Amino acid sequence: MKSSAAGLITAILTVVVLLCLAGYQVTSETAGVRLLGRVGAALIELDRWLPAHRDDIELLSRDRPDAPLTLPDLPVEVLIPSSAVLEASDEDLHATIQRAMGEKLYRDGSGAVQDEDGESHLGFAEPVRWTINLLGEGMHSTWRSVLILSVVLLLALCAGMLWTRQSPLWALTIGGVIAAAASLGVWVLAQAMNSILDGAVDKEIALVLRDGAWIGLRNGLSLAAIGAAALYLVSQLFQRRDRDEDWDEHDDREYSYEGPRGRQHPPY
């Protein structure tokens, strides 16, 4: 394999690995529940819904203090402990409900959004439907499989380059820069969408996309920085080795001019 072709494939595969890593991180349970909780809160306008239903929730929690409380009038079935309602501040109760919604959406996907008859009215092309499904638990498993496969391919390609005495550091660094640039473009686009869109759900989806792009940007910059540092260290080591070899060669030339009576001048 030619050096240019191997480096190009390595750079492309590095971008794929970084994008898969970002998808894996975004869809992890911690990040997925947090992001989907924000989407769910925007879907029901939790900031307006909670003050209007706070008294009803507290009344239900007092009637059954030891049983899980099902929140009323929500398109997502949300269960929270009754103890989390009693004497809780508005901020704490808001966070509890948002997390419970995120867990439900993460586990069940867009099918968790239902009306009173148990039917889902989310259209196939609606952004909220795709956002919920793409951040769910099932998608996390998919990202994990793709990430493992891409990492194995990248490691095999890097090993092949090293076997043929080619350094993969430049390709890895360039791949990190490309992934960071692509993530930055998505970040800027998502920020612009958040400024242009009007709906609360659409704006929150744009913010979720922005946060996912930030993770990809961070990963790309980290790999680019590590690759640049490795390239600098390798260059310094080779320069030092070249200087040592030059000094050894210089000493050998001087020794060859010495005779039994001491150092002799070289013949002209």
pLDDT over 90, % of the chain: 49
pLDDT digits (tens, 9 = 90+) for 160-200: 988 988 889 999 999 999 999 999 999 999 999 999 988 88
CA-to-CA distance for 206 and 168, rounded, in angstroms?
Answer: 36
Per-residue confidence (pLDDT) for residue 238, from 0 to 100: 65
Q: Looking at per-residue confidence, does 73 or 176 come out higher?
A: 176
CA-to-CA distance for 67 and 170, rounded, in angstroms?
Answer: 59
Lowest mean pLDDT among 45-59, 218-232, 248-262: 248-262
Per-residue confidence (pLDDT) for residue 170, from 0 to 100: 92
The pLDDT mean for the chain works out to 84
Q: At what angle do helices 29-44 and 200-256 cross, to 10 degrees?
A: 150
- Structure tokens that stand for 103 in this block: 């867990």
Torsion angle defined by CA atoms of residues 126, 217, 37 and 27, in that order, rounded to the nearest 10 degrees:
80
- The residues spanned by each domain of the chain are 1-15+143-256, 28-135
How many other C-beta atoms lie within 10 A of the C-beta of residue 9? 16
* Residue 205 banded pLDDT, cuts 50, 70, 90: very high
Per-residue confidence (pLDDT) for residue 81, from 0 to 100: 84
What φ, ψ does residue 153 adopt, rounded to 5°? -65, -40
Candidates 174, 173, 186; CA nearest to 216 is: 186
Q: Looking at per-residue confidence, does 65 or 206 come out higher?
A: 206
Per-residue confidence (pLDDT) for residue 243, from 0 to 100: 54
- Flag whether pLDDT at 256 surpasses 60: no
pLDDT digits (tens, 9 = 90+) for 134-157: 999 999 999 999 999 999 999 999
Per-residue confidence (pLDDT) for residue 186, from 0 to 100: 96
pLDDT over 70, % of the chain: 85
Would you give the DSSP letter of residue 86? Answer: T
